[in-house]
Amino acid sequence: MFNSTISFIKEKFDQQAFIPLHEPCFAGNEKEYLLECIDSTFVSSVGKFVDQFEDKVAKFTKAKFAIATVNGTSALHTALLLSGVEKNDEVITQALTFIATCNAISYIGAHPVFVDVDKATLGLSAEKLEEFLSANTQVINGICINKLSKRKIKAVVPMHTFGFPAQMEELLAVCKRYSLPIIEDAAESLGSLYKGKHTGTMGLFGVFSFNGNKTITTGGGGMIVTDDLELAKKAKHLTTTAKIPHKWDFVHNQIGYNYRLPNVNAAIGCAQMEMLPKIIAKKRALAADYKEYFELQKVNFVTEQKESLANYWLNTLILNDVNERNSFLEETNAQGVMTRPIWKLMNHLPMFNKAQTDGLENSKWLEERVVNIPSSVKF
C-alpha cells in the first residue's frame, strides 16, 4: 500500500521532488495589496486593511463582529478572558489538540480538564462531556463546580480538528444544562459548516488562525468572532493595550495586550479572503480524489459527517495500529512526501500530565493511528 500511495500522491502533485504537508497559496492580489500597504506607510496595527479583513471574515462566516489579532493563540486567550475565566478556574477541552489550546488556558493560570473526542469527528464528544459533567460536577448558583478539585469550571473549548466540525448542536445542549459557555477553537476550520452555520459562530466566541500552514494565511494572525456587541468592543479594547481612543493622549484603563494584527499582514489576508471560495473548492476536490483512492485501498480516510461541510484543511488517514502508522511515516518522508502524525495527547506532555481526564479512550486510540497527508492546493 505504501508505494502505491506514494506514487498516487506524487502524481497528484506533479511529481515534485518534495511535497510539503500544506504550503500557502498566493494566487490573487497579495503583492498588489502589500505594495499599497507599504506605500501608505501604515504597516503596523492601524490601517484600512485591518478593518477590511475583519469585515471580510465577518461577512464570510456570517458572524456579526470580527476582531483581528496577531495569532490564533492570542485570539483564544482573549476570548477566554472575556468569557470570565480567571486564575485557578478550570476549562474543559480535548487532549487531542494542538498545544496552543492549552497554552491559552495556561496564560490565565487556569487549568485544562480533558474530555474524550468522537472517533468520527476527532472533536470533543458531547456524550463523553455529558458523562463527565454528570459524574464530576454540580451547578451551584449558576456556577459549575468540579466536585474533585472544588474549582469553578468556566468554559468548554471544543476544537474543529483539521477542519472537521465537531457536533456543536449536542455540545451546546450539554453546556446549557451546566451553565457553561462554549468558545470554539476554529483555528483550522475556516470554510467549514455545521448544519449550515459556520464553525466559530455557534458558541459565545469563535477563534481562527491564519498561520502560514492554514487554509488561508496572513503569515501569522488570528481572528475572534462573536455576535455580542459588548464583548466585541471589549475584545478590540483588550487587544489594543486597553487604550482609550484619543487623538494624542495615552490613557489605558486596565491591563491590556498588544495583540492587534499589523496592517501589512491584513493586506495579505484581504487578498486571501478573495481567493478563499476557490481554495476551498480545490481542497474539496483533492479530498474527493483521496477518498476514492483510499476506499479502493481499504484505508480509513476521514470524511465530513452528515450535515457538515469540511474545508479539508489537512487530509487525514486512520491506519490500523501504531506500527503501521510509524512505517507509513518513515516510508513517505524518506521518499519526499511530507506526512505527520496527530499531536501527542496534551496529558502526555509534562506541563499537563497531572490534569484531570475522563480516561480518553478514543483519544488514545486515535493518537496511535492518525496521520496527515499532503493537502496543498495549486492554481
- Tens of pLDDT, residues 77-107: 999 999 999 999 999 999 999 999 999 999 9
Q: Half-sphere exposure of residue 359, counting CA atoms within 13 Å on the CB side?
A: 7
Q: 24 lies in a domain?
A: no
Residue 241 maps to a domain: yes
pTM for this prediction: 0.96
| Residue keyed to cell 492554514 | 214
Residue 284, Cβ density class (10 Å: 0-12 exposed, 13-18 middle, ≥19 buried): middle
Domain-located, residue 368: no
Cross-strand partners of 152: 145
Kindly tell me if the per-residue pLDDT of 25 is higher than 80: yes
Instruction: State the CATH number of the domain containing residue 164.
Output: 3.40.640.10
- Is 100 within the bounds of a domain? yes
At residue 45 the predicted structure's pLDDT band, cuts being 50, 70 and 90, is: confident
- Residue 308 in domain: no
The answer to whether 229 and 64 are in contact (CB under 8 A) is yes
Please report which residue ranges of the chain form alpha helices under DSSP H.
2-12, 30-40, 48-61, 72-82, 99-107, 126-136, 168-177, 229-239, 263-296, 322-334, 361-367
**Domain hosting residue 104, numbered range:** 30-273
In a domain, 153, yes or no: yes
Residue 79 lies in a domain: yes
C-alpha span between 229 and 64 (Å, rounded): 8
Number of domains in the chain: 1
137 within some domain? yes
pLDDT category at 20 given cuts 50, 70, 90 is very high
> Could you tell me what percentage of the chain is helix, strand and coil, using 3-state DSSP and rounding each to the nearest 5?
40, 20, 40
